[in-house]
Amino acid sequence: MDILSDVVTVTRTGRPRSARVRWHAPWGQEFAAVPGSAGFQVILQGSCWLSSPHTETVRLNAGDVVFLPRGSGHVLADSPEGLVTAPACEPGDHPYDAYVSDSVDRSGNGGPVTVVLCGAYQLDLSRTHPLLLTLPDLIHLPVRPDRHPELRAAVALLAAELENPRPGTDAVVPALLDTLLLYILRIWLKEQPDRGEVTGWAAALNDPSVTAALHAIHRDPSAPWTVATLAAEAGLSRAPFARRFALLIGQPPLGYLTWWRMTTAARLLRTSDAPLRAVAAQVGYTSEFAFAHAFKRAHGTAPGTYRRKDRSAGASANTP
């Protein structure tokens, strides 16, 4: 898979939640911060106001998308005054508990209607991809009639599924949510200004040489990569490549290679019954002992113990 697809695959856990919420003015809702989640709000109809600790109060119009990669707290309301008086979630409640592939009507006093597509992804903080760590706490993508047609199409499809569930909706909605997330990331990364020696993943994914090396690592983590062979993929000599990779990514090429191998190994242990020697081979280790040592250093536990704990936790979560 490509890098953005991998980011979603390794980071998201569980089932994403979403709902099409119809608000009748006057209304307001405070969404508490939820570490380990990423939230989004899409304005489908009408307009509203958003307030958060990470941005000035902003008016949102139909078509606007707001993405909160770290589940930051925020308030939505029909007016600036409503932002101040918006009720908080009840103590102990998860602010996204109502958003489970459904359509919700929050009736007020019959005032103007605002329809919002709300939702959340649960993230595994132990495997958060460094790309997500470089994102701001709040991303606002204002509607532009002549821009982002793919994002608008994904929003329209998702809203239609939530408004009118049909056979297959339970499979369609998670796929569309992943599509929505990927479009948001793609747009944000592409629209970052070119400021010369700017660093970070936005710069890295706009740098052909570093991107070529990243794609090689993600395409085949089991290959016996060295700085020299990755530099050849990048079309650079060894020393300039190593400096440029470290400058943009924040760690040396082989450091990122090891991180990605251990992240891939954790995913394989969670999602497959492959023997440890097979998992080791898929991430570039010919010795099961060497793999186990590297895995324990990265995750704090042996591969077999990690698999058993993950399966046990999953079984507990599915028990009524």
Q: Where residue 246 sits, what CATH number does that domain have?
A: 1.10.10.60
Q: What is the pLDDT of residues 258-317, one digit of tens each?
A: 999 999 999 899 889 999 999 999 999 999 999 999 999 999 999 999 998 877 765 544
Q: Quick one: 186 and 216 in the same domain? A: no
% of the chain at pLDDT higher than 90: 46
User: Does residue 7 or residue 169 have the better pLDDT?
Assistant: 169
Q: Quote the DSSP letter at residue 298.
A: H
pLDDT category, 105, cuts 50, 70, 90? low
Q: Quick one: 99 and 26 in the same domain? A: yes
Q: What is the pLDDT of residues 260-275, one digit of tens each?
A: 999 999 989 988 999 9
Q: Quick one: 119 and 50 in the same domain? A: yes
In this structure, is residue 229 part of a structural domain? Answer: yes
Q: Quick one: 184 and 290 in the same domain? A: no
In the predicted structure, residue 13 carries a pLDDT above the cut 70? yes
Q: Quick one: 131 and 17 in the same domain? A: yes
Burial of 102 (0-12, 13-18, 19+ CB in 10 A): middle
- Edge to edge, what strands does the sheet with 139-141 contain? 102-106, 12-24, 113-123, 37-45, 65-68, 139-141
**C-alpha span between 131 and 9 (Å, rounded):** 13
Burial of 105 (0-12, 13-18, 19+ CB in 10 A): exposed
Residue 242's domain spans which residues? 201-314
Q: How far is CA 286 from CA 29, 60, 223, 289, 292, in A?
A: 54, 54, 11, 9, 11
In the predicted structure, residue 142 carries a pLDDT above the cut 80? yes
In the predicted structure, residue 250 carries a pLDDT above the cut 80? yes
Query: What confidence score (pLDDT) does residue 301 get?
Result: 94
pLDDT category, 124, cuts 50, 70, 90? confident
* 157: nearest Cα among 168, 141, 146, 142: 168
What pTM was estimated for this model as a whole?
0.81
Query: What confidence score (pLDDT) does residue 104 get?
Result: 63
User: Does residue 231 or residue 312 have the better pLDDT?
Assistant: 231
Q: Quick one: 132 and 262 in the same domain? A: no
* 185: nearest Cα among 316, 69, 272: 69
Q: What is the pLDDT of residues 34-76, one digit of tens each?
A: 888 888 999 999 999 999 988 889 999 999 999 999 889 999 9
Q: Quick one: 21 and 45 in the same domain? A: yes
Total domains, the chain: 2
- Are the C-beta atoms of residues 205 and 199 closer than 8 Å to each other? no
In the predicted structure, residue 190 carries a pLDDT above the cut 70? yes
Q: Which of 190, 222, 247 is the last residue of a domain?
A: 190
Range in 30-34, 121-125, 211-215, 274-278 with the lowest mean pLDDT: 121-125
Q: Quick one: 183 and 212 in the same domain? A: no
- Are the C-beta atoms of residues 85 and 51 closer than 8 Å to each other? no
Residue type, 40: F
Bond into 26 cis (ω within 30): yes
Q: How far is CA 208 from CA 125, 152, 285, in A?
A: 29, 28, 28
